[in-house]
Amino acid sequence: MALVTGASRGIGAAIARALAEAGADVAVHANATSPEATCEAVRALGRRAAPLIADTGSADAAERLVSEAIETLGAVDILVNNAGIIRRGPTVDTRDEDWHAVIDVNLHGVFRLCRAAGRHMLSSGRGGKIINIASLLSFQGGLNVPAYAAAKSAVAGLTKELANEWAAKGINVNAIAPGYIRTDNTVALQNDETRSRQILERIPAGRWGDAQDLGGAAVFLASRASDYVHGHILAVDGGWLGR
Burial grade of 190 (CB within 10 A; 0-12, 13-18, 19 or more): middle
* Torsion, CA 217, CA 70, CA 6, CA 222, rounded to 10: 0
Alpha-carbon gap, residue 171 to 113, rounded angstroms:
14
Which among 109, 101, 104, 100 has a CA at the least distance from the CA of 81?
Answer: 109
Residue 228 is a catalytic residue = no
The Cα-based distances of 150 to 121, 136, 198, 216, 228 in angstroms read: 28, 12, 23, 27, 28
The C-alpha atoms of residue 200 and residue 189 are separated, in whole angstroms, by 11
Per annotation, catalytic residue among 38, 148, 159, 185: 148
149: left (phi over 0), alpha (psi -120 to 50) or beta: alpha
Q: Are 86 and 102 in contact (CB under 8 A)?
A: yes
Helix (H) or strand (E) holding 69: helix 61-73
Is beta strand 2-4 parallel, antiparallel or unpaired with respect to 49-53? unpaired
Question: Considering just the CA atoms, what is the radius of gyration of the chain in Å?
Answer: 17
Query: How far is it, in rounded angstroms, from Cα 163 to Cα 232?
Result: 9
Which residues does the annotation mark as catalytic? 148
